[in-house]
Amino acid sequence: MTDLLREACLIDGAWVTGDAWITVDNPATGETIGRVPKLGAAETERAIAAAEAAMPAWAAATAKERATVLRRFFDLMMQHQDALAELLTREQGKPLAEAKGEIAYAAGFLEWFGEEAKRVYGETIPGHAADKRIVVLKQPIGVVAAITPWNFPAAMITRKIGPALAAGCAVVLKPASQTPFSALALGVLAEEAGLPKGLLNIITGSAAAIGGVLTASPVVRKLSFTGSTEVGAMLYEQSAATIKKLSLELGGNAPFIVFDDADLDAAVTGAIASKYRNAGQTCVCANRLYVQAGVYDAFAAKLVKAVEALKVGDGMAEGTTIGPLIDAAAVAKAEEHVADATAHGATVLTGGKRSDIGDRFFAPTVLAGVTQEMLITREETFGPVAPLIRFETDDDAIAQANATPFGLAAYFYARDLSRVWRVAEAIEAGIVGVNTGLISTEVAPFGGVKMSGLGREGSRHGIEDYLEIKYVCLGV
């Protein structure tokens, strides 16, 4: 398929296999793409040791030297954008155009953090005594463990390894077993970019075994995880004994509010982008659409029309806008949310069932008459189902939007300036999209509040999570 496909893991600069394998399939067709090694504790220990050994020379290199390697890594990703996107679509399912977009977005983190490496400024502080000078240094935190999910098989990796490598850290990465080939392809390109061996180790295999060793290791000083809240909480607990620094990017339950002064066409465009991108499988996807009573019917009609224009299909096929869901469980969850909502009084405006083109496809759906008590408003659907909830007042919308333990992204459409400020400030979320459904970029801080996680990825803040502060008190 492409010379970037590797059926081996990367440990200390060597491509290694084992006795057991994990088969990777194409969610659109069920066809096997290939297999990756099922490694475990012993190989993870080796990878940690390799990272520990490789890190001092890398940390001692100048920021410009590290930035040069990251820049080459970025250039190589962009040179291979088409091949990487094709690999991504085959293992993950998203439409090829979205996959190409993800590769550019992913590469952007390498470029951005390479540039930021040069701006890891310390501080000087006026001394507290006449014979004291105070200097604050920022230094790489140590060996970093990264555990990543399948929904963005390239971008969730670069936004961890980009800042880690830029800061001078070495990494042990465990990608999701559903989408390991995108990760391994990045390993190929990192080598080609001239990243010294041992700085990026990639291990596929048993999540529990690998995660157990990574969290227990005193050498690993930082864990960056993107995935479910359940697994994130478990890793948090496992990391307690060694007091690791954690970045956790966990589940969301994003509200999307349409106020009565909104530009309804723009709101529909935003809702389509936010809700149906990646077939609804992003942690910032709109999960609950609150629409003010005066514009509810008009918005619903426009949204249904736009949703009915979406094209479900294999992500490799021309014109596809909605690909398959990742697995059978994902389809079952979408189905369960629709069934629960309709059993409690919601109505299906369009879709509402599995698509007949394959067993992992779900028809893009709009539900009306949804209420706060239904499963679909309480849990993240992670599928192409938009529930519409009617509201009357601004306070009511804000209260309902915040009635969740999660707080990753939130969106709203309104034009009155004071309303825009009031709502933006009142929403409990780490990211608020106002009159836009797309908020992801490497230049902005991405992350959640409440049970959606810890830390920020991207922007100048994203590198801080990989740095320790050292204060030097100099007696003169």
Position 448 contacts ligand ADP (CB under 6 A):
no
Place of tokens 């919601």: 346
Q: Residue 208, interface with ligand ADP (CB under 6 A)?
A: yes
Indicate the residue among 21 and 63 with the shorter CB distance to ligand ADP. Answer: 21
Q: Which residues are catalytic?
A: 249
Task: Write down the least CB distance from residue 296 to ligand ADP, Å.
Answer: 32
Residue 231 touching ligand ADP (CB under 6 A): yes
Q: Is 139 in the site for ligand ADP (CB under 6 A)?
A: no
Residue from 147, 248, 368, 420 touching ligand ADP (CB under 6 A): that is: 147
Q: Is 207 in the site for ligand ADP (CB under 6 A)?
A: yes
Nearer to ligand ADP, 223 or 420 (CB): 223
Q: Is 211 one of the binding residues for ligand ADP (CB under 6 A)?
A: yes
Among 17, 177, 342, 402, contact with ligand ADP (rule: CB under 6 A): 177
**Of residues 33 and 389, the one with the C-beta less far from ligand ADP:** 33
Among 2, 29, 228, 402, which residue sits at the site for ligand ADP (rule: CB under 6 A)? 228
Does the footprint of ligand ADP cover residue 176 (CB under 6 A)?
yes
Confirm or reject binding of residue 278 to ligand ADP (CB under 6 A).
no
Q: Which is nearer to ligand ADP, 127 or 212 (CB)?
A: 212
The footprint of ligand ADP on this chain (CB under 6 A) covers a number of residues equal to 15
Q: Does 148 bind ligand ADP (CB under 6 A)?
A: yes
Q: Does 153 bind ligand ADP (CB under 6 A)?
A: no
Instruction: Give residue for tokens 């999910």.
Output: 149
40 binds ligand ADP (CB under 6 A): no
CB 248 within 8 A of CB 465: no
| Closest of 3, 441, 380, 425 to residue 191, by C-alpha | 3
Of 274, 229, 276, nearest to 254 by C-alpha is 274
Q: Which residue, 156 or 368, is less far from ligand ADP as judged by CB?
A: 156
Return residues touching ligand ADP (CB under 6 A).
Answer: 147-150, 174, 176-177, 207-208, 211, 227-228, 231, 234-235
